[in-house]
Chain A
Amino acid sequence: MLQIKNLHAGVEETDILKGINLEVKAGEVHAIMGPNGSGKSTLASVIAGKEEFDVTQGNIYFESEDIAELAPEERAHKGIFLSFQYPVEIPGVSVTNFIKTAINENRKAKGLEDMPANEMLKMIREKAEMFEMDRKFLSRSLNEGFSGGEKKRNEIFQLAMLDPKLAILDETDSGLDIDALRVVANGVNKLKSNKNAIVVITHYQRLLDHIVPDFVHVLMDGKIVKTGTKELAYELEERGYDWIKEEAKAV
């Protein structure tokens, strides 16, 4: 589904990603771990099409198509979704109106009519319930004054509404308490199928107890320095990242 080959990207003079290779197949869950500032969010943003970053080398293929030239919304229409580490506050636009707009924009891109209002409402209610969000929440301005946990829950609500092929969750677990984490993780698991894929960016093992990864990658200084299975996540939790740094140096 997603193939990243020798990806180099950065801003102006600084390289942030320095040769990333990654392949994610349908039905798989990948975890990306790594110290702060190693380039995890940058990788997520580059996949989603953020123009601020220049791709200087390498390619990103989504379903065998090179997506380098596609705008973020075109990538979204193809089925790429990014749950933001820091969701943006947009006053004056309610969660409901925002998601309606997003859904209908995606439908328009596929040549479909707007979703009938009652169908939309039903779907919104259903998904909101799934993440234990109350009605009042839906009429509030998007992310404005939301707690960290509410913002993340709202991201996953959008994920559920848009039902993408590839979901990239950037530190969705930070700011969530144990109960919220369980609710969110259960929701994500319900959405999982053999047709879609999930990339989970996290610092902590605890999310991976709920969303179990097939592969764990360690990103350091813009490169994937180690790939393993879910056991690697336990090891990282226990031993930190220094030993990997040493290992990488030795190679």
Chain B
Amino acid sequence: MKVLVPVKRVVDYNVKIRVKADGTGVDLANVKMSMNPFDEIAVEEAIRLKEAGKADEVIVVSIGPAQAQDVLRTALAMGADRAILITTECPVEPLTVAKLLKAVAAQEEPGLVILGKQAIDDDSNQTGQMLAALLGWSQGTFASALELGEGRAKVTREVDGGLQAIEIALPAIVTADLRLNEPRYASLPNIMKAKKKPLDQKSAEDFGVSTAPRLKVLRVEEPAARAAGVKVGSVGELLDKLKTEAGVI
């Protein structure tokens, strides 16, 4: 069985981004970029399936600018077998990404697609569910455990009240939550080896998918800032302030 893992190049999670003064977006010039952390978890899960003999090949795919090659190389260094880069001129919406991934799935015929549950830039949390819809497949989202069986998989999901176990028919879409696994670091020899692994370059046009956005971003604003607070010297002072000044207890 092939496992397909889509990965996104995003602002590194440690970066505190700035909104552009003219409100047209977020300033990404000279900002550190990395693989979306949830996608690292997805890649790790796929590699573990291969190591356990449950998957034959791990294919990573990224949709984005030419520099998204870097995150594909990272995934290859972690242990993925080959990569596909679909270049697009502008940022693409989750629905477009899902349509492109559907086209890739039609060519590769994976038994499982594992995605991160959300990208930490647009925080949409949509792509996996949309891909499942377009393929007519089942979905196991926000997964913290995955067990593959014959034709079906058991997925433990992180839900608002705790955990939920479901069984889904294969082929399926799984989206990774934080506690699915701890992704490995690529070793130096593996980083060197990854440079020789195949990386296929395509463009969105090759798949006949329009990348025109459906939504119109009118502007991007700074969030409301909090007024500066004070330090208190003791528990007594804290309680006094909470009662008399803030009135919250």
Real binding pair: no
* Chain A contact residues, CB within 8 Å of chain B: none
* Chain B contact residues, CB within 8 Å of chain A: none
